Amino acid sequence: MTDQTEPGDILEEAREKLLDAALPHVAFDGWGQASFDAARADAGLDPALARAACPRGAVDLALAFHRRGDARMLARLAEADLSQMRFRDRIAAAVRLRLEAVEMDKEAVRRGATLFALPVHAADGAGAIWGTADAIWTALGDMSTDYNWYTKRASLAAVYSSTVLYWLGDDSPGHEATWAFLDRRIENVMSFEGFKGKFLNSPLGRIIEKGPLRLLDRVAAPDQSFRETAPGWTRR
């Protein structure tokens, strides 16, 4: 290790090597200890370094796999020209790019869904999906700073998670059925947002907005320092 090499860089490099080596094993053995041990051996990493890179073993490796998918999506979004699309179509395009980024490792995604369905790891899974929703909204230029910051991400997280489950069982050519399902889900969300807007502009809606909903004025989006360190947002 040179003077210019940061400890975090060493761990990131080890984590990436572990992940590359793990994926062939995960398809058969899932995100468990057997896959982690096989990946460490295949990557030729010292056990202590492997454990430092992934303190919780395969769980941390599965989260690294999810973050890799997010990073690939963001790279593809940066190259795509979405300027002529309606906003709902931009969201659909981002979700599609996210799934296409891991299409070659679909079985690893399936195994991850199984892992994060376990109660002990459910919070990790929810944090990872929230991080994906936040990455998409941020990349698309969301500037909200109030409670809408949360509702947008919660809605997209629900759309994304249901679309992933549909995608995992979809054997249609080019996943056409999945993209149709995604469009329907986004249309449902947009329809609700339209209804909400109309309701808040109605006489009853204005009364409620000035009453109970005034409490939401105190809700603000988290600051950048929190987003950079909180689970689900961490970009290692």
- pLDDT tens digit sequence for 133-175: 999 999 999 888 877 888 888 999 999 999 999 999 999 999 9
pLDDT at 226 over 90: no
Contact assessment for residue 183 and residue 152, using Cβ atoms and an 8 Å cutoff: no
Task: Parse the chain into domains and list their residue ranges.
Answer: 83-229
Dump pLDDT digits (tens) for 104-118. 999 999 999 999 999
* Cα-to-chain-centroid distance, residue 69: 8
Q: Cβ contacts of residue 234 below 8 Å, gap of 6+?
A: 67, 131, 228
Computed from CA positions of residues 139, 151, 145, 90, in that sequence, does the dihedral angle turn out positive or negative? positive
CA–CA separation, 110 vs 115, rounded Å? 9
CA–CA separation, 121 vs 158, rounded Å? 18
Q: Which of 18-27, 60-69, 98-107, 213-222 has the lowest mean pLDDT?
A: 213-222
